Amino acid sequence: MSGNPLRIVIVDDHPMFRRGVARTLSEVPELTVVAEGASADDAVTLFIEHKPDLMLLDLSMPGGGHAALTRILDVDPQFRIIVLTVSEDDADLFRALKSGARGYVLKGVSASTLVEAIMGVVAGESYVSPTLAGKILREMRGPRVDEPEVAAGADRPFAHLTQREEQILKLVADGRTNKEVGNQLELQEKTVKHHMTRILQKLNARNRTEAARLFQKVALGQLDPDER
């Protein structure tokens, strides 16, 4: 790898752990830790001040890691965040990934695994700790036809959208332009465009018109079985 080292921010409210990770990463020539924080507010502030290439973010901290994740990605949906946590809870895992985290790594991994995850995410890949991979596969596959959850989940084509993405899609379905959506939600137009790209990918829609039509059908209870 050539060029300047990747600039990383670490946010975790356990100082000893945070410093240990910083020391580990400092031994890798391609990486440099530019700042450390201990709260959601720290995460947002350091993101704005340092404009790093990537952030390692814990979930359990003052202000909440999920809140920090959402606040940062509302500003820049393309920013790379890897959640570094002890939580193996399904709700935490899927909430973080659906919010836009590029990776979900369990604390206790080896230094080489953490570096591998960072390098992969910077290269455009995603990383989830192998022990959690099965949960991702089950979520992607969906429930079996003999599972009672299939009936409950069949009418939820927007289950993978974040709250912000749902807000944007509702306004688009109301006929608003990206600029108008941005003005109402206090977002830059380019940020709205990034969100729309993710919405189209998640809904497997070809364009904003198709996504808006799907939203309207769901709202009116008119979604055909083949469109679920």
**Quick one: pLDDT band at residue 54, thresholds 50, 70, 90?**
very high
| Residue closest to 139 by CA, chosen among 218, 202, 195 | 202
E strand segments, 12-162: 31-37, 54-57, 81-85, 103-106, 127-128
Average pLDDT for 40-59:
97
User: How far from the centroid of its chain's Cα atoms is residue 102's Cα?
Assistant: 6
* pLDDT at residue number 206: 86
Q: Do the Cβ atoms of 80 and 101 come closer than 8 Å? A: no
Give the full edge-to-edge strand order of the sheet including 103-106.
31-37, 6-11, 54-57, 81-85, 103-106, 127-128
Q: What is the mean pLDDT of the chain?
A: 84
Same domain, 136 and 158: no
Reduced to 3 states, what is the DSSP secondary structure of residue 172? Answer: helix
Mean pLDDT of 188-212: 86
Contacts 24+ apart (CB under 8 A), 208-214: 208/172, 211/169, 211/172, 211/173, 212/169, 212/172, 212/173, 214/157
> For residue 153, what pLDDT is reported?
43
Closest among 196, 16, 67, 95 to 188, alpha carbons compared: 196
Query: In this structure, are residues 173 and 212 in contact, taking their beta carbons and an 8 Å threshold?
Result: yes
SS3 content of the chain, % helix, strand, coil (to 5): 55, 10, 35
Examine the pLDDT at 207 and tell me if it is beyond 70. Answer: yes
Q: Report the 10 Å Cβ neighbour count for 196.
A: 21
pTM: 0.64
pLDDT tens sequence across 81-115: 999 999 988 889 989 988 999 999 999 888 999 99
Clarify whether residues 57 and 112 are in a common domain. Answer: yes
Q: What does DSSP assign to residue 31?
A: E
Are residue 17 and residue 81 in the same domain, yes or no? yes
Of 121, 140, 159, the last residue of a domain is 140
Checking if the pLDDT of 150 tops 70, the result is no
Number of domains in the chain: 2
Query: Do residues 184 and 98 both lie within one domain?
Result: no
44 found inside a domain: yes
pLDDT reading at 144 higher than 90? no
**Residue 10 pLDDT class (50, 70, 90 cuts):** very high
Question: What is the rounded average pLDDT of the residues 11-24?
Answer: 95
CATH code where residue 206 lies: 1.10.10.10
Among 140, 159, 177, the domain-final residue is 140
Q: How many CA within 13 A on the CB side of residue 174?
A: 11
Residues 81 and 21 in one domain: yes
Query: Token pair for residue 185?
Result: 């939600």
82 and 130 inside one domain:
yes
Q: Is residue 133 part of a domain?
A: yes
pLDDT at residue 19 tops 50: yes
Residue 34's domain comprises: 6-140
Distance CA 94, CA 184 (A): 28
Q: At residue 62, does pLDDT exceed 70? A: yes
